[in-house]
Amino acid sequence: MSIRLHHVPFSRSFRVLWMLEELGLEAEIIAHSIRKGTMRAPEVRAISPAARAPAIEIDGLTMIESGAILEYLAETHPEAGLGVAAGAPDRAKYLQLMHFAETQAGLIEHLNMQHVFLRDPALISPTVIKLNTKRLQVTMAALEGMLGDHEFLLPTGFGAADIMMGFNLYSAPYYVTLSEYPKLEAYRARLEARPAYQAARAKDGAQEFYTQDFYPIPEGA
């Protein structure tokens, strides 16, 4: 199997990198810079029309969207047990978790834009930051409820849904205090202890956009 992954460090493409490690699949990693805009090169746009990571090439098949890629890899490697087959009792919950991860990641992305990528202070809206931070906190509380006292998100054990959420739990603490969600904090520690996670993080590369450990809601918002 020939695999090429177009990857931006600390982006949603980390999910795919991690999934490949869990499956034991070797891939050529094409690293891109979010600051330099290398994803906008014409040859990359031919693969990823929106100029966003991830984009993956698997034996001539091209895919974008991290959730779709993870579902495809889980379904084409059922022996790994990282997905939930159609008709299985937990299928609906699995699909809901896969997509809820993007609801949460979208809020993180909005906060990234406001706190990190808008360089003109006049364009930044403290009100928008406050609203999206509160919304992110709501999703964190909801996720803690979904996890409950379980080790992973589904009774069947670790899987693609945990990879989708695991990326979020590495990014969300720039905007929310993870210790306020003790079950998620312990869950993140379990995810980080996985050898495949550690191998993927070693290949991830240095992130280019966060310049501080925590970004609070601006005063007066």
Q: What is the mean pLDDT of residues 139-145?
A: 98
Predicted confidence at residue 50, as pLDDT, reads 87
126 and 46 in a common domain: no
Q: Is 210 a member of any domain?
A: no
Structure tokens at 126: 């403290």
Number of domains the chain is built from: 2
Q: What is the mean pLDDT of residues 33-48?
A: 85
The one-letter code for the residue type at 169 is L
Predicted confidence at residue 121, as pLDDT, reads 85
The answer to whether the CB of 140 falls within 8 A of the CB of 126 is no
Q: Is 60 a member of any domain?
A: yes
Residue where a domain terminates, one of 57, 80, 103: 80
Residue where a domain terminates, one of 52, 80, 108: 80
132 and 100 in a common domain: yes
- Which range marks the domain in which residue 178 is found? 91-197
More confident residue, 178 or 37: 178
Q: Is 36 a member of any domain?
A: yes
Answer whether residue 80 shows pLDDT above 80: yes
Report how far residue 183's alpha carbon sits from residue 95's, in angstroms, rounded to the nearest whole number.
Answer: 22
Rounding to the nearest 10 degrees, give the CA dihedral for residues 145, 97, 140, 69: 160
Question: What CATH number does the domain containing 34 carry?
Answer: 3.40.30.10
Answer whether residue 113 shows pLDDT above 90: yes
Residues 86-99 have pLDDT tens digits of: 999 999 999 999 99
